[in-house]
Amino acid sequence: MMLYILRHAEAEPAGQRGGDAARKLTPRGRARMRAASAGLVALGLKFDAILTSPLVRAKETAEIVAEAYPDGAKPQELQALVGSVPADKAVAALAPFARNENVLAVGHEPQLSALVALLLTGTREGLQMSLKKGACVALELTRRFETGTARLSWMLTQRQLRRIGKRSSRVRDR
């Protein structure tokens, strides 16, 4: 199974209307995520399940990705993808989705980096990384959510995904 881990796009600064949970994507964040979603499509990715943190900025990011796949999966909220939930609890909450071949999980830092580290190395401290906004990691899960057994397929920034999407649209336009 493939697990794709995506950090939410650029959001409003903290402290604006309604606190952290209510932070929405900025217009720039929305535009860049649409372009990055075109990159996901150009890579030939399809998702059987799109799981998202219930926080507004993550839900909006997941909705933008889902819009790029009109006949695809619709986002489902998963409370364990709230950034404050420990990575091992998030792994346990993701395990029931192992019946799917391709799952996208949209959430927050630092939880997502800890989740990647845990799945790859078996410990949250086994890998030091930090996902930029809109970045995506592709993990091949060889043993369905058993920590320390995943393999890194690729990791792309949002900028790289946008470039892939642009190249693909240029090729189609010819």
What pLDDT, on the 0 to 100 scale, is given for residue 100? 95
Helix (H, G, I), strand (E, B) or coil at 51: strand
Name the token pair of 24.
Answer: 């929405």
Q: Does an H or E element contain 131, and which? A: none
What pLDDT, on the 0 to 100 scale, is given for residue 36? 98
pLDDT in tens, the chain (174 residues): 999 999 999 999 886 667 888 899 999 999 999 999 999 999 999 999 999 999 999 999 999 999 999 999 999 999 999 989 999 999 999 999 999 999 999 999 999 999 999 999 999 888 999 999 999 999 999 877 889 999 999 999 999 999 999 987 665 554
**Domain ranges, ordered by start, for the chain:** 2-156
Residues 6+ apart with CB under 8 A from 103: 1, 2, 3, 4, 47, 48, 49, 50, 51, 94, 97
Name the token pair of 151.
Answer: 């393999």
The pTM (predicted TM-score) of the whole model is: 0.94
What pLDDT, on the 0 to 100 scale, is given for residue 174? 47
Residues 6+ apart with CB under 8 A from 122: 147, 148
Q: Does an H or E element contain 111, and which? A: helix 111-121
Q: Which CATH class is domain 2-156?
A: alpha beta
